[in-house]
Amino acid sequence: MSAVVYEMKKSLLKIMREPLGALGISLVILMIFSAIFADLIASADPSKISPRDRFLPPSFDHLMGTDQLGRDLFARILHGGRIALAVALFTTAVSLIIGTVLGLLAGYGPRWLDNVLLLLFDTVKSFPTVMLALALVTLFGPSLTSVIIVVVLVNVPGYARIIRTQTLTLKSAEFVTAAQSMGASTMRILRVHMLPNTIGPLLILVSMDIPVVIAIEAGMSFLGLGVRPPTPSWGAILNDGFTAIRDTPWIAVAGGLPIILTTLGFTFLGETLRDIFDPRMKRR
């Protein structure tokens, strides 16, 4: 296990050395930090309605202004970060688990199972994402749960494939047979041989997927098909801002800005990770 930690420390340093990587990690940390400590950073209550204070432009009292119900936008954005973070973490975890199980099944299981699973993955990928999301929301009703189901569905194939590839490699590797003949358990093989090789690609996929996850949730909430009011998801704030865009544009700016910063942050991070872990794709 310490080998893994060592690898991660080394990678972290490599990330920080790349300017894009440094920027990416800073943005990510900023987002996580502000989401967790939202209450401390912004003293205002994100759900407090105050019609007298509606549509106030950004000022010292309200760093990003107020929305149509007089709610402080800065507080809403920070709390929105919690939703984004929660959705990102939860769906990634679930997708990883399901993906791992399916990937192992595909790799270790019988050939026909492998083919069927691959076909399913291809099919899911062949739906244009938003169309799939809309179709599922129609059936399950608009809610955050439906959005989460969509996101998990869309992400699982990616993780499953990585696990599957590793599993297939392992299945035929000689050193595995050697290790097994020496009495090594399957768990140990998985831990020692598979884990280090999969962490890299998985980490890259995670940091490339998270912006997609956040974008889908924000998109669905923007359409009014995701979180229910008055939950301050960034997409919902963007929706409020959109209807009032002519005279009070700062609401839309407030909603979109954290989305942009977060997606940029994770994407820069992912790109840098890819450069580090996959020398073939390195920028020359």
Report the interface residues with another protein, using CB under 8 A: 20, 47-49, 51-52, 54, 68-70, 119-120, 122-123, 126-132, 134-139, 142, 211, 215, 218-219, 222-225, 228-230, 238, 241-243, 245-247, 249, 252-253, 256, 259-260, 263-264, 266-268, 271, 283-284
Q: Whole-number minimum distance, CB 163 to another protein, in Å?
A: 22
- Closest separation between CB of residue 143 and another protein, Å? 10
Q: Show the 3-state SS of 81-121.
A: HHHHHHHHHHHHHHHHHHHHHHHHHHHHCCHHHHHHHHHHH
Closest to another protein by CB, 70 or 109: 70
Helix (H) / strand (E) element for 27: namely helix 19-36
C-beta closer to another protein: residue 142 or 200: 142
What six digits make up the tokens of 3? 């080998």
**Which candidate, 155, 154, 163, 178, places its Cα nearest to that of 109?**
163
The answer to whether the CB of 213 falls within 8 A of the CB of 88 is: yes
CB of 124 to another protein, least distance (A): 8
**How large is the C-alpha radius of gyration of the chain?**
22
Give the residue with the Cβ less far from another protein, 166 or 233: 233
Integer CA distances (angstroms), 185 to 4, 107, 163, 181, 192, in order: 20, 18, 19, 10, 11
Q: Which is nearer to another protein, 167 or 256 (CB)?
A: 256
CB of 56 to another protein, least distance (A): 13
The Cα 270–Cα 173 span in angstroms is 29
User: Which residues have CB under 8 Å from 95's CB, separation 6+?
Assistant: 151, 152, 155, 156, 158, 159, 209
Between 55 and 108, CB nearer to another protein: 55
Three-class SS of residue 66? strand
Give the nearer residue to another protein in terms of CB position, either 38 or 252: 252
Q: Which is nearest to 45 in space by CA: 76, 83, 77? A: 76
CB of 198 to another protein, least distance (A): 24
Minimal distance, residue 176 CB to another protein, in Å: 31
Shorter beta-carbon distance to another protein: residue 92 or 207:
207
Q: Find the shortest distance in angstroms from Cβ 258 to another protein.
A: 10
How many whole angstroms separate alpha carbon 221 and alpha carbon 233? 7
